[in-house]
Amino acid sequence: MAFQLPIPTWVLVTDASQAHIYEITTLAGPLKAVSGFDMTAADTHGFSRDLKSDRPGRSFASTGNQRSAMEPRHDPHQLAEDRFAKSVAERLNHACGEKLFAQLVVIAPPRMLGVLRNEFSQAVHKVVAAEIHKDLVKSDKADILAHVKAELS
């Protein structure tokens, strides 16, 4: 008999530009996609120059008439990734408040996992059963399930 998990258990598989949520009831599987929870960030693909509005500002040197370009304070790509992580966390915070899942397994690259941790509500933190520091967004369901089994068993 397969080990029963708290029902429903959700598995979040995300990176900086995509997020998928699956539901499982036993460690034997299968992973079932939760409808309406697939997310894609439109503004994290491509080049950073495509995310900026114009050329960097210019400033005068402290001596002489020389001018030079000013470096932006933030990487636009990083800001877009952080916005995406926040939107994923907001959706999970809301779903947790609605009691749509009882347990959560988070699979994400380390940086994304850190941003998600900062954005999760206290209620979500309480139901996180495991965190897997890997980028498995493009992996098949069998590979994801194998990682979940290894972490929870």
Tens digits of residue pLDDT in 27-68? 887 899 998 888 887 655 555 455 455 555 555 555 666 655
Average pLDDT over the chain reads 82
- For residue range 118-132, list pLDDT tens digits in order: 999 999 999 999 999
Q: What is the pTM of this model?
A: 0.78
Given the candidates 3.10.290.10, 3.40.250.10, 3.30.750.24, 3.30.420.60, the CATH classification of the domain at 4-41+75-152 is: 3.30.420.60
Q: Give Dmax over CA atoms of the chain in angstroms.
A: 80
CA 136 to chain centre: 11
Q: Which two tokens stand for residue 58?
A: 């210019």
Q: What is the mean pLDDT of residues 77-103?
A: 90
Report the C-alpha gap between 133 and 19 in whole angstroms. Answer: 15
pLDDT at 1: 43
CA 50 to chain centre: 22
